[in-house]
Structure formats: C-alpha cells, structure tokens
Amino acid sequence: DTGVSQDPRHKITKRGQNVTFRCDPISEHNRLYWYRQTLGQGPEFLTYFQNEAQLEKSRLLSDRFSAERPKGSFSTLEIQRTEQGDSAMYLCASSLRTGFNFNYGYTFGSGTRLTVV
Amino acid sequence: GQQVMQIPQYQHVQEGEDFTTYCNSSTTLSNIQWYKQRPGGHPVFLIQLVKSGEVKKQKRLTFQFGEAKKNSSLHITATQTTDVGTYFCAGMVVGAQKLVFGQGTRLTINP
C-alpha cells in the first residue's frame, strides 16, 4: 500500500451521461475526502467520510453528485447527468485523525480528470 | 463561508532569489497546512502548523503561523529549479473537520 489510488486517470464523457470514479485510500487512514480542482484554482471541498460515515457534504454540491464509502474502505463518487461545468480534476485524499483530535496531513491521489463534451 | 486568500497568485524569480507567499483566513484556524503541487501533479503535503506564532523550518523553507491564527507565510531561501510548482495553504476552521484551500501561488524560476 504505497499511496492513494484513483481510477480512472482520465474520463471523457458526453453531456448527460453518468460517470463514476473510484478511490482507494491508504488502508491505515480513517478519513477520506473528495475535492475538485479546476485550472489555476485550489482544490475545492466536496465531501468527506470518517470510516463509512459521510460526515459533511459541500453546500455547493448539487444533488447530481453522490459519494459512498461502503465498509469504510474504497470510495466512489458518481456524477449523474453530467454538464460541461463538471469538467475538472477530481481529487481523492485520505488522512488519519487520532482519538486526541489531531489531524494529520492529507495524502492525495493522482486524480481523475473529467472532460464533459 | 470561510475563505482562505493567498497572495501573490504568480511569482517569477531568478534562481537563487528568495520567495514568499502569504495566506490569510477570514476566520480563526485550528491549524494550517501547506502543500506543493508540481505541474501536472497532485498536491503533496509539506507541513502543518498548529500553535499561535509557530515557526517551522524544512531546509530552505520557513513556515510561520500568525499570532491570531488567521494568517501564515511560506518563505523559500535561495530558490532552486526544483522549487517550481504551485504552493497552497489550507486552513481548518476551529470546530470544522475539513481543509479549505487557498488559490495557490504559482512559482516559476529562471535558471
């Protein structure tokens, strides 16, 4: 287990299609995050999980976006009825949060680049 | 909502010159983290600052956290071509559980 893995690396889809991305975090990490990054901008928070529980979802996220983390292991992010504005790099990150409320740095995956045509 | 502002947006320096990027939050932070993203790559964690007024060094990089825990800076001494990339600060608001990233400062270096 050498890092956070994301699949696929690239996805081109037609407007209106559904897409699903997968993230495999570092196994020892209990937190998993999804961020979206567009060119020239910083990562924008989408949602995060602690183990299998989805604890927060960005208010900016439309109902077309849904994320799951069954059994607290890998996670999937699904976008329904894609729009051109969904084109971006989707980054997954994992981290460890200890019982003493200490947050460690995030380890990011290489991302999935989505292009909606 | 919480905002994290970073300046400058771009910085071009001659190799060997110093570089500084500044980060300001609209709200008090419990901690601030810094990340580096190489062109075509993903953000890589550099450091976390937790205490008011904290200063940490990593070789030629010096990180500071403000006394009010609302601002931070990253200073690179004598830049090298390997320092090229975009540097992001990311703050965690007190009571929150997620990082909010700044827009980043893109550093380019003339060798």
Q: How far is it, in rounded angstroms, from Cα B9 to Cα A98?
A: 34
Of B45, B47, B103, the CB nearest to A41: B103
Question: Is some CB atom of chain A closer than 8 A to the CB atom of B39?
Answer: no
Query: At residue A1, does pLDDT exceed 80?
Result: no
How far is A16 from chain B, CA to nearest CA, in Å?
28
Chain A residue whose CA is closest to B40: A110
Q: Do B98 and A105 touch (CB under 8 A)?
A: no
The answer to whether A32 and A48 are in contact (CB under 8 A) is yes
The model's pLDDT over B68-107, given as tens digits with 9 standing for 90+, comes to 999 999 999 999 999 999 999 999 988 888 899 999 999 9
Q: What is the pLDDT of residue A60?
A: 78
Q: How far is it, in rounded angstroms, from Cα A33 to Cα A106?
A: 9
Q: What is the pLDDT of residue B1?
A: 65
CA distance to A65, B1, B30, B72, B88, per residue, from B7 (Å) = 32, 19, 21, 11, 10
Average pLDDT of the residues in A66-88 = 95
How far is A60 from chain B, CA to nearest CA, in Å?
11
Q: What is the pLDDT of residue A19?
A: 98
Q: Mean pLDDT across chain B, nearest whole number?
A: 95
Chain A residue whose CA is closest to B87: A42
Average pLDDT of the residues in B30-43 = 96
**B74, exposed or middle or buried, with CB in 10 Å at 0-12, 13-18, 19+?**
buried
Residues of B in contact with A59 (CB under 8 A): 1
Q: Using a pLDDT cut of 70, give the percent of chain A over it.
A: 94
How far is A29 from chain B, CA to nearest CA, in Å?
15
The model's pLDDT over A21-40, given as tens digits with 9 standing for 90+, comes to 999 999 999 899 999 999 99
Identity of the residue numbered A3: G
DSSP string covering chain A? --S-EEE-SEEEE-TT--EEEEEE--TT--EEEEEEE-TTS--EEEEEEETTEEEEE-TT--TTEEEE-GGGS-EEEEE-S--GGG-EEEEEEEE-B-TT-PBPPPEE---EEEEE-
For residue A80, the Cα-to-chain-centroid distance in whole angstroms is: 15
**Tokens read off for B6:** 């970073």
Pairing mode, strands B55-58 and B71-76: unpaired
Identity of the residue numbered A65: F
Question: Is some CB atom of chain A closer than 8 A to the CB atom of B100?
Answer: yes
Q: How far is it, in rounded angstroms, from Cα B84 to Cα A29?
A: 29
